[in-house]
Amino acid sequence: MAYLHRLKVRYGETDQMGVVHHANYLAYLEEARTEFMAARGMPYGALERAGIGLPVRRVELRYRAPAFYEDQLDIHVSLGRVRAASILFDYSISRPADETLLLDGAIELACIDLESRAPRMLPGDLRARMEAAAKE
Amino acid sequence: MAYLHRLKVRYGETDQMGVVHHANYLAYLEEARTEFMAARGMPYGALERAGIGLPVRRVELRYRAPAFYEDQLDIHVSLGRVRAASILFDYSISRPADETLLLDGAIELACIDLESRAPRMLPGDLRARMEAAAKE
Amino acid sequence: MAYLHRLKVRYGETDQMGVVHHANYLAYLEEARTEFMAARGMPYGALERAGIGLPVRRVELRYRAPAFYEDQLDIHVSLGRVRAASILFDYSISRPADETLLLDGAIELACIDLESRAPRMLPGDLRARMEAAAKE
Amino acid sequence: MAYLHRLKVRYGETDQMGVVHHANYLAYLEEARTEFMAARGMPYGALERAGIGLPVRRVELRYRAPAFYEDQLDIHVSLGRVRAASILFDYSISRPADETLLLDGAIELACIDLESRAPRMLPGDLRARMEAAAKE
């Protein structure tokens, strides 16, 4: 089942087309993903303090309808696939006020050693928690 | 042949991982795409003043290697496909200093009427110029 | 008395110094200011729909201590001065976890007609509500 | 005499008021300031690699007129004051197309040790170069 994170569009996130600029959705998804990880007992900041990073390796987004200033957005995060050295998150964003789907997509994170920036295996603890979440 | 746009990474575009934050590449690609369109005689601002918008409908990006503060980046833009009501741009970003490929991907733009936000056909002039560019 | 708005630092708001990049505080203050106005019965979006804008005219900020990723921040907004065609907001940002003051400052908004972009008087309703808030 | 840096407004830097969002000027000023420092033989990246940071401590900006998408902006940077552990930069931004002043202001940078984040004296070399620049 998807984790739900709710947020509100900031003024500076709109552009002159009068809608949320497409780049800002990546910040929304990142906020939702880290809230999801924290809720699962794996706050992302703690991972980094342990020397492990999860940089974004792949992004696939489809923009279905625009979001507007002051909109409340529902961001649904779920786990698509957990591998030895990567995690795939699936997302959708909807606006509850009119039950409109605004965006769906997927983001893959790689696992790296922050010191060397080399790829590494997911820590066992993180992998176990993410696999458990993927099965729900 | 790809259009080349060169830019330099800003400090505020980095994040605490010490690299360019993944969301900022969308701004780089947008800058390169609009320079490409202007070089083809279709500045994007003029399109909007004529009541036509080209919002982003789909994004697919693969991040291959990180970019750093003060890096000069080469952004290569080419036309993937021109349809009646959409344009697909293909991109790659490389760092000439060490000839590293940093990112590749594609972004699809829809064509809309800015007043109604409804989809519409590409203006004939824009379509002809983009089709000519796609054939090079 | 100051209005309190609380938010959490996003990953992409940090820079390679490992702290929140200074430009992002303007987004925090804007979010807090618009929440304050909404709480006072004057949502900023409604003002714009009525053809009135409140662009930023002056910013004065002192950065006292850095904020970090995942920090919860308390943003205190109060009204400094309400004039015929401008409003001055006073701010401070603190981190409750260690009771540290991070920033204080002021931002002045001008009132304009959105169509002509010319300065205009504050609508009577907005002025009355803001003056009432300033007296608290 | 002021150092001149020229840049072009990106689409994503506008907001729904149809002008450059006020927070983005901080990115413009930062870009101009670091180009100025590099031109003076002190690239900011090299300072950080030597363990020294120059975080922003104070910002004072007056917004005089709006900037628009695709505008070319002239950013004028000069040194206001060089002290033992801080540097004050003065700025103005104008649009050469219609010779309009858009913004002026000042930004003070503190000097810190990046490891401890404690204040420290400016390195002698940096201070000498900045003082020389201030006298021009």
pLDDT in tens, A16-27: 999 999 999 999
C-alpha B45/C-alpha C50 separation (Å) is 26
**CATH number of the domain enclosing C80:** 3.10.129.10
CA dihedral C121, D102, D62, C24 (to 10 degrees): 100
Question: Band of the pLDDT at C83, cuts 50, 70, 90?
Answer: very high
Min Cα–Cα distance to chain C from B43, Å: 24
> What residue ranges in B9-135 does DSSP mark as E strands?
52-53, 56-63, 72-82, 86-95, 100-110, 112-113
Structure-token pair, residue C46 = 């409604």
Task: Please tell me if residue B23 touches chain C, with a CB cutoff of 8 Å.
Answer: yes
Residue A136: predicted pLDDT: 79
Cβ neighbours of residue C89 under 8 Å, at least 6 residues apart? C29, C33, C36, C77, C78, C79, C80, C106, C107, C108, C109
Please state the domain count of chain B.
1
Q: Which residues of D touch A23 (CB under 8 A)?
A: 12
Residue A114: predicted pLDDT: 97
What are the φ and ψ backbone dihedral angles of C109, each rounded to 5 degrees? Answer: -105, 135
CB distance A23–D12 less than 8 Å?
yes
Residue of D nearest to C48 (CA): D17
Cβ neighbours of residue D80 under 8 Å, at least 6 residues apart? D88, D89, D90, D106, D134
Distances (CA, A) of A67 to A64, A127, C45, D77, D79: 10, 34, 13, 38, 42
Domain with B100, as residue range(s), is 3-135
CB distance C12–A34 less than 8 Å?
no
Tens of pLDDT, residue by residue over B101-134, are: 999 999 999 999 999 999 999 999 999 999 998 8
Q: Is the pLDDT of residue B135 over 90?
A: no
Q: How many CA atoms, within 13 angstroms, populate the side-chain half-sphere of residue C111?
A: 19
Check if the beta carbon of residue D11 is closer than 8 Å to that of residue D69.
yes
Edge-to-edge, what's the strand order for the sheet holding C86-95? C3-8, C72-82, C86-95, C100-110, C56-63, D56-63, D100-110, D86-95, D72-82, D3-8
Q: In angstroms, how far is CA B15 from the centroid of its own chain? A: 22
Structure-token pair, residue C76 = 């205190």
Residue of A nearest to D10 (CA): A15
C-alpha B22/C-alpha A54 separation (Å) is 12
Q: Of A20, C100, A51, which Cα lies nearest the Cα of B26?
A: A20
C-alpha A45/C-alpha D85 separation (Å) is 31
The shortest CB-CB distance from C12 to any of B18, B23, B69 is to B23
The shortest CB-CB distance from B31 to any of D10, D45, D48 is to D10
Residue D99: predicted pLDDT: 98
The shortest CB-CB distance from B61 to any of A30, A58, A63 is to A58
Residue D48: predicted pLDDT: 97
Residue C104: predicted pLDDT: 98
User: Which parts of chain A register pLDDT below 50?
Assistant: none
Helices (H), D12-79: 24-39, 44-49
The shortest CB-CB distance from C70 to any of A12, A26, A43 is to A43
What is the average pLDDT score of chain D? Answer: 96
ipTM: 0.96
Tens of pLDDT, residue by residue over D64-118, are: 999 999 999 999 999 999 999 999 999 999 999 999 999 999 999 999 999 999 9
CB distance C12–B18 less than 8 Å?
no
Residue C136: predicted pLDDT: 79
> What residue ranges in chain D does DSSP mark as E strands?
3-8, 52-53, 56-63, 72-82, 86-95, 100-110, 112-113
Tens of pLDDT, residue by residue over B84-97, are: 999 999 999 999 99
Q: Of B10, B30, B32, which Cα lies nearest the Cα of B21?
A: B10
